[in-house]
Structure 1
Amino acid sequence: MVTTTQNPAGPLPPPNERRRLRESRSLTNAQVAARIGVSRSTLRAWESGRRVPHGREGEAYARLLRALAAPAAEDTSTAEALREQPTATAAALAPAGHTAMGSAAPLTPAQAFDALYAFCAPALVRQTYLLTGRRELARESVEQAFQLAWQRWPEVALDRDPGGWVRAVAYDCALSPWHRFRPRYRHPEPPPADPADRALLSALLKLPPSYRRTLVLYDGVGLDLPETAAETEASTPAAASRLTHARAAVAARLPALADPAELHRRLLELGSAEQVRAAKPPVVRTGTERRNVFWTRAAIAFTVTIVGATTLTLRTAPTHYEPPIAPAQAVEGVPSVGVMGPLSPDQQALRAKLRAAARGPERLVPEPG
């Protein structure tokens, strides 16, 4: 007999049994998550026991598990309905040219992008705020990530997890070390008004960026360890070590958050307490398009400048080889010019001798004919 645990959603089987019941009906995480109305990461956290289902979603999950635990003949309709039901994100993120299951018309690229933005942007801004402690930087990083996603939309639309693709880019933008050189980010922003939120945010910001990112992904977003390791580009043991050290550092400053469940709840509360809102999807798309037009025109202008400079060089360059003029050199061995004056006796004797030797026949003068 399966033991159950008591929680606000009603009796539930143990975490391992929850996963077994789902797999016994050949159901995927996406199918069950869409039926309940939660994300796949939340469902994985429920099945691993890291989080306890509660509220209306927890009650729906408890009813679904009871239906899956029923005999196969009684539960055929439930399992079939789950297999045929598309997930909300699959219908919203279907690439252009593809028809969402159960929909009569395909989504355009703009509609698919807007659906992804509306689904992911609000939560991403809150998560990025936990990484940076800056409201404007969080909003700017998420918008930059979605602008890059719109530039590469054919690639992003076909990705296995478009939301994860955008989240990784947004986190990279938020944690970039180049922000420290921007004048607007050299001074800290006003901290949260609540002292408890202020203490938690201070504890997060004192963690190394890689530890902080791992903690937010695992305890804040609800990813499992392999997914956290993949998104942080680390091995699973390295991600586990970072998570352990990050939890220990936070617990050392705030002992009340030593429980992972309490830490998860407080992270959600801290992100939701700040009024950080993202721009509307059309604004992000048009901003991306304007930026693309600007860079395209800049590239064309740069190319024209290079072509003009090359043409001018070809027109003014010499067409034949001209040897360079040798540098001037001092001439040596030439006797210096003597100073004019009276001749010495030796010079006078030499002059007389030369004159005597120069005497010859008289010059012949032609006679007139």
Structure 2
Amino acid sequence: MTRGPATPLPPPRERRRLRETAALTQAQLGTRVGVAPGTVRAWESGRTTPRGRKREAYAKLLATLAGEDPAGRATRAPEEEPDSGPVREAEPETTPETHAQPQPQPGPEAKPRPERAPEPQPRPDPQPQPQPLALTPAQAFDALYEFGAPALVRQTFLLTGRREQARESVERAFQAAWEHWPEVARDRDPVGWVRATAYEYALSPWQRFRPRHRHPEPPPADPGDRTLLNTLLRLPPRHRRTLVLYDGVGLDLPETAAETEASTPAAANRLLHAREAVADRLPALADPQVLHRRLAELASNERLRTTLPPTVRTVGERRNRFWTRAAIAFTVALIGTTTLTLRTAPTHYEPPVSPGKAVRGVPPRVVQGALSDEELELRRKLRDQMQDGPERLSPSLE
């Protein structure tokens, strides 16, 4: 048994344009196809491709939307165009010589020619779509920050239970995105890139050693929210992250596994263990739909603020300049220390000085006193003599 060819689909950008033209949200389109909104977002970004029955349902819905789109009429197949009458046979070209020749009169037995069908009017060309204005890197970054920062702060709060840590994690993630902006701008899902960076920073083990971590923040005011947050914080970090991504954000299982850097079976196992732990403490949240709604309510009830995009960019640039200057200063100090060591280091071998030894049997040194008359006379004679040596002695007869 051979498998038939897959149902063709338009490009990802065309899928998104058709949905926006029909004034449908990702959640509404996902409800029609029977998938989560995160799956529709992945299909429109090109990260994943539908398969099987979902692909056929998605392709049929897109075809319906393309038929309702005025700008898509020109792309219909020829058999879909309305019938404009019988097809007229091709006639020979009419030249001036042909007009000049007399036309034969039809005889009595000649049959009348049928009337020609009106020629179909050419369809007007679709009006060109307005080209989007080119944004500068700063404007594109600000638009991405305003779109994704509020939701990311709420999601990170579910991971950490700390408001300031969630805000700082998201800001650090966006500063890293601004530092690698050409790479992030070309990514299929820039929000996913920032989300993965923010989660890694928020769940880093060294966060517990910070002084701010020693002072607990006030818990949520609602007792139900407080119980749910405590239940989430009791989960292992990997299980907590998988639960937030799948039941909180709405990603499908392959995307959750890819973002957590795990295989799909491992991600499914973590998700099941996390749901069981939450259901044991809160039986009312055993239903995934109820759990998804409660996670959204818990994140929305907290008043989490975000910093303005220019401030995030400025702080990130200032931090990068500081660390760059610190690295340059350390390198210069290291080079100076090495040069000074090379200039002052000995260039030849010097044997070590042997340790001293005590000498026994030597009389102690006597302090010098005043000279006697004989010693003074002897010193005077020695000074009067020639300093070059004694005089030459010549032999003589006695």
C-alpha deviation, 1:27, in angstroms: 5.9
* 1:223 aligned partner: 251
CA shift in 2, pair 1:206/1:45, >3 Å: farther
Deviation at 1:320, TM superposition (A): 2.5
Partner of 1:266: 294
Amino acid at match of 2:259: E
Question: Retained in 2: the 8 A contact 1:131–1:213?
Answer: yes
Q: Does the CA contact (< 8 Å) of 1:68 and 1:75 recur in 2?
A: no
- AA paired with 1:156? V
The residue aligned with 1:164 is 192
2:242 paired residue number: 214
**Whole-angstrom CA distance in 1 between matches of 2:187 and 2:167:** 23
Residue 112 of structure 1: how far off its partner (Å): 1.0
Asked if structure 2 preserves the Cα contact closer than 8 Å seen for 1:129 and 1:271, the reply is: yes
Match of residue 58 from structure 1: none
Matches within 5 A, 1:142-161: 142-161=170-189
What's 1:361 paired with?
none
Q: CA RMSD in A?
A: 3.4
Contact 1:45–1:224 (CA under 8 A) maintained in structure 2: no
Question: Where does 1:272-311 land on structure 2 (aligned, <5 Å)?
Answer: 272-311=300-339
- The one of 226, 244, 248 aligned to 1:198: 226
Quote the residue 1:321 is aligned against: 349
What fraction of aligned residue pairs are identical, expressed as a percent? 64
Cα distance, 1:288 vs structure 2: 0.7
Which residue is 1:26 aligned to? 10
Q: Do the aligned residues in 1 keep the contact of 2:19 with 2:65 (CA within 8 Å)?
A: no
Q: Distance in 2 between matches of 1:78 and 1:126?
A: 39
Alpha-carbon distance change, 119 to 279 in structure 1, aligned in 2, over 3 angstroms: same
- Which residue number corresponds to residue 233 of structure 1? 261
Cα 1:48–1:71, aligned 2, differ >3 Å: closer, same or farther?
A: closer
**Is it true that 1:133 corresponds to 2:161 in the alignment?**
yes
User: Can you list the C-alpha shifts for 1:188-243, whole angstroms capped at 9, x where unaligned?
Assistant: 21111111111111111111110110000001101000000000011000000111
Unaligned ranges ≥5, structure 2: 1-5, 39-57, 76-128, 364-394
Specify the SS of the correspondent of 1:216.
helix
1:173 corresponding residue in structure 2: 201
Could you say what secondary structure the match of 2:307 adopts?
coil
* Bigger mean CA deviation after superposition, 250-259 or 164-173: 250-259
Whether the aligned pair in 2 keeps the contact of 1:67 and 1:75 (CA below 8 Å) is: no
TM-score by length of 2: 0.64
Equivalences, count: 288
The answer for the alignment partner of 1:352 in structure 2 is none
Which structure dedicates a bigger proportion of its chain to helix? 1
**1:172 counterpart letter in structure 2:** E
Write the distance in 2 (CA, Å) between the matches of 1:272 and 1:186. Answer: 26
Q: State how far apart, in whole Å, the 2-side matches of 1:71 and 1:162 are.
A: 27
SS of 1:326 mapped into structure 2: coil
CA offset at residue 26 of structure 1?
A: 2.9
> What is residue 55 of structure 2 aligned with on the other side?
none
C-alpha contact (below 8 Å) 1:147/1:284 kept by paired residues: yes
Contact residue 113 and residue 150 of structure 1 kept, 8 A: yes
Task: State the alpha-carbon separation in 1 of the partners of residues 143 and 136 from structure 2.
Answer: 11
Counterpart for residue 248 of structure 1 = 276
Distance 2:318 2:139 in 1: 19
Amino acid across the alignment from 1:138: A
The structural deviation recorded for 1:68 is 5.0
Question: What CA distance in whole angstroms lies between the structure 2 residues aligned with 1:184 and 1:38?
Answer: 41
Q: Distance in 2 between matches of 1:144 and 1:26?
A: 37
Q: Which residue identity does 1:26 align to in structure 2? A: P
Q: Which has the larger radius of gyration?
A: 2
